[in-house]
Amino acid sequence: MTRILATGSIDRTMPKNTASMKVGRLLEVRAAAGYRTPADVDAIFGEIGAALGRLPAGAEHVTVVDWRQCPLMAPEAAQHMLRMIASVNANTLRSAALASDSSPTAVLQFVRVIRDANLPDRKLFVRSDELRDWLAEVLTPAEAARLDEFLAESPNG
């Protein structure tokens, strides 16, 4: 990814997948680099595990995932993603992913991963306002405000 910084210089940083918790129980995940291998999936789940490790034992979290820039996953990465997502079902109160409807094949892949992860309170959205409304039902005011900030931030960093 290339972008022009405010200083006029060129930023050639590569897109990254990130996971963090900035406010309360809201786990924020961005998948800008995509997942080409199971190792890519392991890397993001390492970040997810570190973020969730700051919560009290057994505490539930709410996840928001920005998949708008995520390219189609390699089949073995998608299968591994499915297993890893399912592994956090027990402590997930709700999970919402935002995808771009400009990539129908990727959206179908995301739908399958979410469906097969087998958590009824995990959904895929292509409209950020619908995602926000659904997650806000279970968020504190501070978490909802942070969700708004997350959704307003550029997916490119």
* pLDDT score, position 23: 97
- Alpha-carbon distance values, 35 to 8, 12, 66, 73, 93 (Å): 31, 20, 13, 5, 24
* pLDDT score, position 94: 97
Give me the residues of the chain with pLDDT under 70, please: 1-13, 154-157
* pLDDT score, position 156: 53
Collapsing DSSP states into helix, strand and coil, what is residue 63?
Answer: strand
DSSP H helices in the chain: 38-52, 75-87, 104-116, 128-136, 141-152
C-beta of residue 97 within 8 angstroms of C-beta of residue 19: no
* pLDDT score, position 103: 83
